[in-house]
Structures are given as structure tokens and as C-alpha cells.
Amino acid sequence: IIMGWSLSLVLFAFAGTYWTFCAGRMIFGTAQAGAYPSLSNVSRHWFPLANRTTMQGFVASFAGRTGGALAPIIMATVLMGYYGLDWRTALIVMGLGGLFLAAAFVVLYRNSPYLDTRVNEAEKDLFREDGLASKSKKKVLNFWTAIKHRSLSIMVFAQLSNAGADIVYTSVLGSFFFSKNISWEELGIYASLPLFGGAIGGFVGGFLNDWVMRITGSRKWGRRIMGATGKTIAAGFVFVAIAQTNVAFLAIGLFVVKFFSDWSQPTVWGTCTDIGGTHS
């Protein structure tokens, strides 16, 4: 997956027409689509249930959103602004960085803690408490059986809606800020600020989700409380953010929006893992 989307990123640099650029985006999206489903499987096998949502918040939200936040800074502020590279060369440089990451993943990652010699027995005992070692591998779940599951159908609809908001942050926001007659260096900072809000919010949300589940004694209500409050607060702050006329204040406002919107992201992935069970 990492190699696929890194190579597809390089394809953008060689796009000569509008349609080849669109084709590159489609290939990029297809290559990247398996990242979070794979992460759900990874988190189930590598993170004990007691603090799984916290770790999902750190990996999926904090690390993932931080990478997204750093991308505009690296590309616009550093590679294009400081080093003076054109956008095509900057994309090639970033794609090559992804290939190095893919190689490191192949060398270091193992599918299970029981297959990794670097994991000691005390750590393996944490997974035995979850009963993970005793669960046999299940057959692939039929698509039509899965889509008839009510909770899964609701999650699919929710994530389709959430993805629409992400498109604004990743594809539209940069163009909007640039239309305000700011420099490439400023663009990298302003475009990344909301994504840093998502990174911090995701980490905080993962910790809070596990804390709420311990307080309420209910995984179901812990998920519901965190999911509902984050999106509701974020929706309210959207109106505050878009009322700002100063670019810096607008970026700060969107930082707050993304903070609360993404503090429910670890809850989403925790819920996906809960619903999927041994199929996740």
C-alpha cells in the first residue's frame, strides 16, 4: 500500500493534461484506500483492548494527521519556497521518501506479536488476556452479509460524510488560502494548521475514549459519547471560523474545528474494530 501510493504520487509529476492528472488522482486514491482497513487489523493484533483506542488515536489520528499537516510545510514552505523546486520535482522527492518508508515497513513489521522475536513474554501475555491467541482465523466475510449489518451501514454513511469534510481540508483549503495573495511559505503554514488541530484532537480523543469507557463501564456508551460530542462541537465552531476575515484567525478557527471533529476519529476506528471482530 505504501509503495503503491508513493509511486502514484510520482505520477502526478508527469501528468501532462487535466485528464491524466485526474487519472493519477484515481490511482492514488485506489492505492491509498486500504490503509485504514489495514490499520484496523494491525491495531487489533498489536494493541491490547484496555488501551487500544488511545493507541489508535496516536497512530491513526496523531501520526496520520501530523503527516498530513507536515506535507504542505515540506512541499510548499521547504521544497518550493526555500529550495526553489518546481511542484513536479517536489512531488518526486516526496514520493521517493515514501518508497524508503515502504522498505522500512517490510523489514520491521510483523503480522502478529507472536511472530516478532522482539516481543517479550510479558508483552505477549497482554494479548493472551484478550483471548487473541486462541481465536482462529476466520474466512473472509461476504460483502452482502456485511453491508446488511445495521451498525456497519451507519458507519459507512458516517464515513462518507466525514470524507467530504476531509476533501475540503486536503484539496480545497490550500487553493482558498492561496487566493488570499499569500506567499508559498505562508501557504504551507496556514494550510497545515487545521491538520495539526486534527492530529492533537485525535490523540486527545483516543485517550478520552478509553477514559470514558472506564468511567461508564460501557464500551457502547463510551463510543457514543465521544463520537457525538466531537462532531457537534466542531459543527458549532465552523460558523465561528468562517466568520473570520483575517487569514490567520481563519486558520486558527479551522484548527479548533478540526480538533473537535477528529477527536472522534479514534472512536471510529475502535468501533470498526469492535464491529469487525475477528474479521477486522
Specify if 7 maps to a domain.
no
Share of the chain above pLDDT 90, in %: 12
Specify if 6 maps to a domain.
no
Specify if 11 maps to a domain.
no
Residues 72-84 have a mean pLDDT of 86
Question: How many independent structural domains does the chain possess?
Answer: 1
**pLDDT at 93 exceeding the cut of 90:** yes
Specify if 63 maps to a domain.
yes
* CA torsion angle 229 69 60 232 (round to 10): 10
Q: In the structure, what pLDDT confidence band is assigned to residue 134 with cuts at 50, 70 and 90?
A: very low
Q: Is residue 59 within 8 Å of residue 186, measured between CB atoms?
A: no
Residue span of the structural domain in which 40 resides: 34-133+147-279
Q: What is the pLDDT of residue 100?
A: 93
Distance CA 7, CA 133 (A): 36
What's the pTM value of the predicted model, to 2 decimals?
0.67
Specify if 27 maps to a domain.
no
Specify if 25 maps to a domain.
no
Q: Is residue 280 within 8 Å of residue 42, measured between CB atoms?
A: no
Q: Which residue has the higher pLDDT, 44 or 74?
A: 74
Specify if 156 maps to a domain.
yes
Max mean pLDDT among 33-42, 51-60, 86-95, 147-156 falls in 86-95
Distance CA 224, CA 220 (A): 6
Distance CA 38, CA 102 (A): 14
Which of 73-82, 131-140, 245-254 is predicted with the least confidence, judged by mean pLDDT?
A: 131-140
Residue-wise pLDDT for 157-186, tens only, equals: 877 877 777 777 767 777 788 788 888 778
Q: What is the pLDDT of residue 22?
A: 86
Residues 201-206 have a mean pLDDT of 86
Closest of 190, 134, 136, 198 to residue 165, by C-alpha: 198
Q: Mean of the per-residue pLDDT values for the chain?
A: 82
Specify if 178 maps to a domain.
yes
Residues 72-78 have a mean pLDDT of 85
